């Protein structure tokens, strides 16, 4: 039996990006969470009265989603989203998912077809600790947000805040909102250097 109050308070305290997303999305909105993991975000959205569903390829994570009572499909987003109708959702969420996909530009374009807005969260490879470890150790860094070694990482793309801003400019995507986080708090100063995690809302 899940204690919703304990799960909600603990998760929101540890995940300021989740708290930001919950503040952004209104009750009654239709949300698709791509690469939803163990369903924690979908569970919190459900508690707020948001109609959410997820897509996840890890079977163990899907079991956790079912245990939390959230609606999830087994699937690989790299195989496409063509089965979803145009503007079927108010939001599509890609929370620490896009860097693991083969063709992130194509996936984001499809997300913008099926949703009015897309929220993208990714680990910032421009973070100062990552830079310093490359500079002084001379090898691929291992951090709390990038905890894998080069040979077992699921990440296919390593991007920074500036990289994603440039990507949006090149593709002509409108950035409606952005937020940046380090550890348990939001930061506003020099995010490409000081942020561990970046959030962009685009349309």
Count of CB atoms situated within 10 Å of the CB of 89: 22
Helix (H, G, I), strand (E, B) or coil at 181: strand
On whether the pTM is more than 0.95, the answer is: no
Q: Quick check: helix, strand or coil at residue 158? A: coil
Per-residue model confidence (pLDDT) at position 1 = 45
106-135 residue pLDDT tens: 999 999 999 999 999 999 999 999 999 888
What residues contact residue 59 under an 8 Å CB cut-off, 6+ apart?
A: 74
What confidence score (pLDDT) does residue 24 get?
A: 97
pLDDT the model gives residue 144: 79
Q: What angle do CA 132, 134, 140 make, to 5 degrees?
A: 135
Ranges in the chain, pLDDT < 70 = 1-11
C-alpha span between 111 and 125 (Å, rounded): 23
Cβ count near 117 (within 10 Å): 20
């Amino acid at each position: 039996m899940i204690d919703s109050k304990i799960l909600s308070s603990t998760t929101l305290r540890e995940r300021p990006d989740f708290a930001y997303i919950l503040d952004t999305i209104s009750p009654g909105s239709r949300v698709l969470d791509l690469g939803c993991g163990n369903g924690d975000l979908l569970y919190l959205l459900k508690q707020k009265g948001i109609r959410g569903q997820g897509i996840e390829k890890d079977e163990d994570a899907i079991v956790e989603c079912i245990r939390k009572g959230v609606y999830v499909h087994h699937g690989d987003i790299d195989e496409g989203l063509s089965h979803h109708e145009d503007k079927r959702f108010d939001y599509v969420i890609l929370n620490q998912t896009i860097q693991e996909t083969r063709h992130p530009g194509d996936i984001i374009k499809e997300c913008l077809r099926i949703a009015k807005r897309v929220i993208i969260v990714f680990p910032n490879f421009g973070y100062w600790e990552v830079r310093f470890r490359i500079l002084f150790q001379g090898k691929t860094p291992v951090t709390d947000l990038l905890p894998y070694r080069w040979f077992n990482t699921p990440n296919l793309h390593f991007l920074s805040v500036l990289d994603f801003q440039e990507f949006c400019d090149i593709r002509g995507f409108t950035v409606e909102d952005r937020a940046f986080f380090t550890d348990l708090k939001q930061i506003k100063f020099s995010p490409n250097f000081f942020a561990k995690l970046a959030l962009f809302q685009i349309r």
